[in-house]
Amino acid sequence: MIIRKVENVSPDPVTELGAERVSRQILLSPQEGAPHFTLRRFTIAPGGHTMYHQHNYEHEIYILSGKGKARRKDSEIEICENDAILVLPDEEHQIINTGNSSLVFLCLIPNM
């Protein structure tokens, strides 16, 4: 069993084109011995957002705190603390912070 404290994992800025005011912590990954999934924690500062993108794998998101919108091709949906989101393979998506405090969420992706 591996246990990591969030406060011991340094956040890195997300530098992908289109992302603004976003940092990421890699909590568990193959580097720590996770064979199938990578667990990441994202923090989006007020006024920030992830890039609008898609990829060929599903991923799951769980909102820990804050509020915002989940944008997809034809709509935007309000999101807040304790919401769980399934992003399907090849679905265009973006997470936007619409609040006055940080939007923090966990994101689980398969190891490729």
Domain architecture of the chain: domains with CATH = 10-110 (2.60.120.10)
Q: What Cα–Cα distance (Å) separates residue 101 from each residue in 31, 43, 92, 107?
A: 31, 10, 25, 19
User: With 90 as the cut, is the pLDDT of residue 112 above it?
Assistant: no
For the segment 46-101, what is each residue's pLDDT rounded down to a tens digit?
A: 999 999 999 999 999 999 999 999 999 999 999 999 999 999 999 999 999 999 99
Q: Would you state the structure tokens that stand for residue 70, as one six-digit string? A: 């989940």
Question: What SS3 class is residue 30?
Answer: helix
Buried b (16+ CB within 10 A) or exposed e, 19-32: bebbbbbbbbeeee
Residue written as token pair 């994992």 = 9
Q: How far apart are CA 66 and CA 68, in angstroms?
A: 7
Using a pLDDT cut of 70, give the percent of the chain over it: 100
**Average pLDDT along the chain:** 97
**Is the Cβ–Cβ distance between 97 and 47 less than 8 Å?**
yes
Confidence (pTM): 0.96
Distance CA 36, CA 61 (A): 17
Digit-coded pLDDT (tens) for 24-44? 999 999 999 999 999 999 999
